[in-house]
């Protein structure tokens, strides 16, 4: 590809099940580098793939209208400025922006955030110091209301958000029970992130077995931070404590088709009544305006290693759809990022 | 029965489906009238039957251990003092107490509340000025957080709690959409209680039809006060607005068996995420200590007719189990009470 061209992944077909490359087309277009005042051209180095992208591909409205067909797949990027019409942004500056799956992004500077690679690796702007970090921090602190001594259950605990919730929960004095889909992930959760116990849910044959395990181990949730939904949630909800807080951050087990064709599961609202519990849905964007609060607290912890993070880096612009698909197979530990330059 | 005897309904067999007379036995015992200091003997006139009684007959713990077998069916009563060993309580005084399905109750005065029949009919202590009133008031005000202009959906709207939620919602400036199980109940809700619309859910064949109706009528909930659960709730939840509050007060459609053998229904937690909504379970007892607040506000409204209530009075001590069973068939409009004297 010449530097006078741009490449873009166009979302062009609605998936009815799992999303994969067949729902995209790769487009090569002339590079639009004719900047207006206060615009910059970014050469993207790292592009984010996130589970929420599949929600936006549901046929029905979610928090907004479905992602339009035949448009650039939206997403967060980290790259370097290669042209600027604003004095505050110079060639070579690292920035993050919300643009999409393209090699170059042209944005107004109000939509670009400058990054300091001395403070933290620039990829953290897509993970621990970006949207997933914000989601984990405010989701747990605001909706979860953790108190020392609480038992905090986390599903999807080895993911970008879950792995931070585990650590934030430990900082808040909780006993943390983490769920993940492999023994390797569970080892990481226990040995490096400090989870009090880590459970490979794939070793259990359905919710009834998991429920029996909770009862045998006397595991009951004061807080359940749910990224996954489905059978893990089916097993947790009958095992909540009085005034439990159930934080719905994601339902990744339900995304590949069932958001349009809803799956059935056990009714559980009577448990809300028994325990006077609360289910609270959260969304990262609601806390955008408080990003500075999160960074002020979590930034130093990342800098001094108190909060750990992993990234699963996939190499190659052409692998963006496959990387997205991999999220639904547990291919990632921590944040999944595609390196494109 | 001689006045030297007492009659009591003993809960003696756990129902696996609907509760009925076969789960009780009627016992005649000598009247225990040997009062200790500060005790009173109450001759019960009105005995309450409430849906929560069936929850307590589930095999599994709910907000407490299941109702013990072979003991008096617990419940609220209104009666007159016929013997007293405390100067503040005289023969003939009306009182309410939480005792059970028995003709006479012996209680410590700390467990009896004196009623003033001049202020309101004594039966209101079992309904609008009792537990159902407290549940409706605090459930709506605390968990529902009504604001003028909100759309409030109420299931079981013709019941003891629902019929008050409808009226409290109107006072708070809400547009109220009420669900009930007969056209007669719907007429009462619209014509007398002021519901903006009343929907006989039995006219809809399942959640999909009700969902289509909501969409056609542009009905979306800011608050959903749920006494019923099941298909009404299945239809409502995909039609909630941003930051909706779903108050779980009851799940009466689920009580007759499914609390032990859970019924399946559509998974809905992704909607919590989309709308950043909240499901909050409530229980009347959590607001016991604020009863005076409710009475100070609602008492005068009942006195001057601003808040209306109905009672479904069943006559005869021997019909207590049948009256309880009737709650699960919609036999009542407003509060179901059994007159026993």
Longest dimension (CA), chain B: 65
Q: Is the complex ipTM higher than 0.90?
A: yes
Distance from CA of A16 to the nearest CA of B (A): 17
Question: Measured between alpha carbons, how far is A100 from A7 in angstroms, rounded to an integer?
Answer: 11
Structure tokens given for B64: 């407490």
Partner residue facing B283 (CB), from A250, A264, A276: A276
Contact of A229 with chain B, judged by CB distance below 8 Å, is answered with yes
- Parts of chain A belonging to CATH 3.90.180.10: 5-127+310-339
Distance from CA of A82 to the nearest CA of B (A): 37
Residues of chain B with pLDDT > 70: what percent?
Answer: 99
The answer for A 280-309 residues in CB contact with B (under 8 A) is 280-283, 286
- Per DSSP, helices labelled H in chain A are 52-55, 131-138, 162-171, 183-187, 207-217, 231-236, 269-275, 291-303, 320-327
Q: Cβ contact (<8 Å) for B282 and A276?
A: yes
Structure tokens given for B138: 């605090």
Residue B237 DSSP symbol: G
Confidence of residue B275 (pLDDT cuts 50, 70, 90): very high
What average pLDDT is seen over chain B?
96
Provide the pLDDT for residue A34. 93
What is the strand order of the sheet B5-11 is part of?
A: B24-30, B5-11, B71-72
Mean pLDDT over A256-280 rounds to: 93
Structure tokens given for A21: 């490359």
Provide the pLDDT for residue A259. 86
* CB contact at 8 A, A334 and A312: yes
Kindly report which listed range (A76-80, A121-125, B58-62, B85-89) carries the lowest average pLDDT score.
B58-62
* CB contact at 8 A, A321 and A21: yes
Residue B199 has pLDDT above 90, yes or no: yes
Residue B1 has pLDDT above 60, yes or no: no
Contact of B135 with chain A, judged by CB distance below 8 Å, is answered with no
Q: Which residues contact B157 (CB under 8 A, 6 or more apart)?
A: B163, B165, B166, B178, B179, B180, B185, B189, B195, B198, B227
Q: Is B20 exposed, middle or buried (0-12, 13-18, 19+ CB in 10 A)?
A: middle
Residue B74 has pLDDT above 80, yes or no: yes
Mean pLDDT over A8-24 rounds to: 97
How many Cα neighbours within 13 Å face the side chain of B148? Answer: 2
Residue A311 has pLDDT above 60, yes or no: yes
CATH superfamily for A5-127+310-339 is Medium-chain alcohol dehydrogenases, catalytic domain (3.90.180.10)
Q: Which residues contact A117 (CB under 8 A, 6 or more apart)?
A: A94
B149-188 pLDDT, tens digit per residue, is 999 999 999 999 999 999 999 999 999 999 999 999 999 9
Question: Measured between alpha carbons, how far is A161 from A159 in angstroms, rounded to an integer?
Answer: 6
∠ CA A264-B233-A14, nearest 5°, is 50
Contact of B239 with chain A, judged by CB distance below 8 Å, is answered with no
Residue in A with minimal Cα distance to B62: A274
Question: Considering only CB atoms, which chain B residues are within 8 Å of A55?
Answer: 270, 273-274
What average pLDDT is seen over chain A?
96
Mean pLDDT over B118-131 rounds to: 97
Span B5-126+309-339: which CATH code? 3.90.180.10
Question: Measured between alpha carbons, how far is B19 from B11 in angstroms, rounded to an integer?
Answer: 10
Report the helix count and the strand count for chain A, using DSSP H and E: 9, 17
Distances in Å between the Cα of A96 and the Cα atoms of A127, A309, A315 are: 12, 19, 19
Q: Which residue has the tokens 């947790």?
A: A236
Q: What is the SS3 assignment for A301?
A: helix
Structure tokens given for B43: 């001759």
Structure tokens given for A301: 């912890």
Question: Considering only CB atoms, which chain B residues are within 8 Å of A233?
Answer: 269
CB atoms within 10 A of CB B50: 22
Structure tokens given for A14: 């609605």
Provide the pairing of β-strand B278-281 with B240-248: parallel
B277-323 pLDDT, tens digit per residue, is 999 999 999 999 999 999 999 999 999 999 999 999 999 999 999 99
> Dihedral of the CA atoms B150, B156, B162, B166 (nearest 10)?
40
Stretch (H or E) spanning B271: helix B269-275
Q: Which residues contact A265 (CB under 8 A, 6 or more apart)?
A: A230, A231, A233, A234, B264, B265, B266, B267
User: Among B144, B235, B269, which would you mutate to test the A interface (most chain A Cβ atoms within 10 Å of its Cβ)?
Assistant: B269
What sign results for the dihedral spanned by CA atoms B123, B178, B248, B136?
A: negative
User: Among A281, A286, A287, which would you mutate to test the B interface (most chain B Cβ atoms within 10 Å of its Cβ)?
Assistant: A281
Contact of A316 with chain B, judged by CB distance below 8 Å, is answered with no
Residue A201 DSSP symbol: G
What sign results for the dihedral spanned by CA atoms A46, A49, A52, A56?
A: positive
Confidence of residue B4 (pLDDT cuts 50, 70, 90): confident
Q: Which residues contact A183 (CB under 8 A, 6 or more apart)?
A: A200
Q: Is B261 exposed, middle or buried (0-12, 13-18, 19+ CB in 10 A)?
A: exposed
Q: Which residues pair with residue B312 across a beta bridge?
A: B336
Q: Which residues contact A189 (CB under 8 A, 6 or more apart)?
A: A157, A158, A163, A166, A178, A180, A195, A198
Distance from CA of A246 to the nearest CA of B (A): 9
Distance from CA of A55 to the nearest CA of B (A): 9
What is the strand order of the sheet A24-30 is part of?
A: A24-30, A5-11, A71-72
A131-285 is classed CATH 3.30.450.20: no
* CB contact at 8 A, B57 and B77: no
Partner residue facing A270 (CB), from B254, B273, B286: B254
Provide the pLDDT for residue A134. 98
- Parts of chain A belonging to CATH 3.40.50.720: 131-285
Q: How far apart are the first and last CA of chain B?
A: 12
DSSP-based helix, strand, coil % in chain B, nearest 5? 35, 30, 35
Confidence of residue A261 (pLDDT cuts 50, 70, 90): confident
Q: Cβ contact (<8 Å) for A267 and B62?
A: no
Question: Measured between alpha carbons, how far is A225 from B180 in angstroms, rounded to an integer?
Answer: 35
Confidence of residue A2 (pLDDT cuts 50, 70, 90): low
- Parts of chain B belonging to CATH 3.90.180.10: 5-126+309-339
Mean pLDDT over A54-82 rounds to: 96
* CB contact at 8 A, A307 and A298: yes
Q: How many residues does chain B have?
A: 341
Question: Measured between alpha carbons, how far is B161 from B136 in angstroms, rounded to an integer?
Answer: 5
Provide the pLDDT for residue A3. 64
Residue A23 has pLDDT above 70, yes or no: yes
Q: Which residue has the tokens 């607290």?
A: A297
Partner residue facing B266 (CB), from A262, A270, A274: A262
A99-116 pLDDT, tens digit per residue, is 999 999 999 999 999 999
Question: Considering only CB atoms, which chain B residues are within 8 Å of A285?
Answer: none
């Amino acid at each position: 590809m010449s530097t006078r061209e741009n490449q873009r992944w166009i979302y062009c077909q609605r998936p009815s099940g799992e999303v994969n490359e067949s729902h995209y087309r790769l487009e090569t277009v002339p590079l639009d580098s004719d900047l207006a005042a206060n615009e910059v051209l970014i050469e993207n180095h790292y592009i984010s793939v996130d589970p929420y992208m599949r929600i936006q591909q549901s046929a029905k409205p979610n928090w907004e209208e479905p992602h339009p067909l035949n448009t650039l797949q939206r997403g967060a990027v980290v790259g370097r400025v290669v042209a600027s019409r604003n004095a505050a942004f110079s060639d070579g500056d690292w920035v993050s922006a919300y643009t999409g799956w393209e090699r170059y992004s042209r944005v107004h500077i109000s939509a670009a955030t400058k990054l300091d690679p001395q403070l933290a690796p620039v990829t953290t702007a897509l993970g621990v110091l970006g949207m997933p970090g914000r989601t984990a921090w405010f989701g747990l602190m605001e909706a979860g209301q953790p108190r020392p001594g609480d038992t905090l259950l986390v599903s999807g605990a080895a993911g970008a958000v879950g792995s931070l919730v585990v650590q934030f929960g430990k900082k808040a004095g909780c006993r943390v029970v983490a769920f993940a889909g492999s023994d390797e992930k569970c080892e990481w959760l226990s040995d490096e992130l400090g989870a009090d116990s880590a459970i490979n849910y794939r070793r259990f044959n359905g919710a009834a077995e998991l429920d029996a395990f909770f009862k045998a181990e006397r595991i009951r949730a004061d807080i359940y931070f749910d990224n996954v939904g489905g059978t893990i949630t089916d097993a947790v909800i009958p095992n909540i404590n009085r005034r439990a807080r159930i934080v719905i951050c994601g339902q990744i087990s339900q995304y590949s088709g069932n958001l349009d064709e809803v799956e059935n599961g056990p009714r559980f609202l009577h448990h809300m009544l028994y325990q006077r519990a609360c289910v609270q849905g959260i969304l990262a964007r609601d806390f955008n305006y408080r990003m500075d609060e999160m960074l002020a607290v979590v930034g130093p912890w990342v800098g001094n290693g108190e909060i750990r993070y992993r990234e699963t880096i996939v190499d190659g612009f052409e692998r963006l759809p496959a990387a997205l698909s991999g999220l639904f197979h547990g291919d990632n530990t921590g944040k999944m990022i595609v390196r494109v330059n």
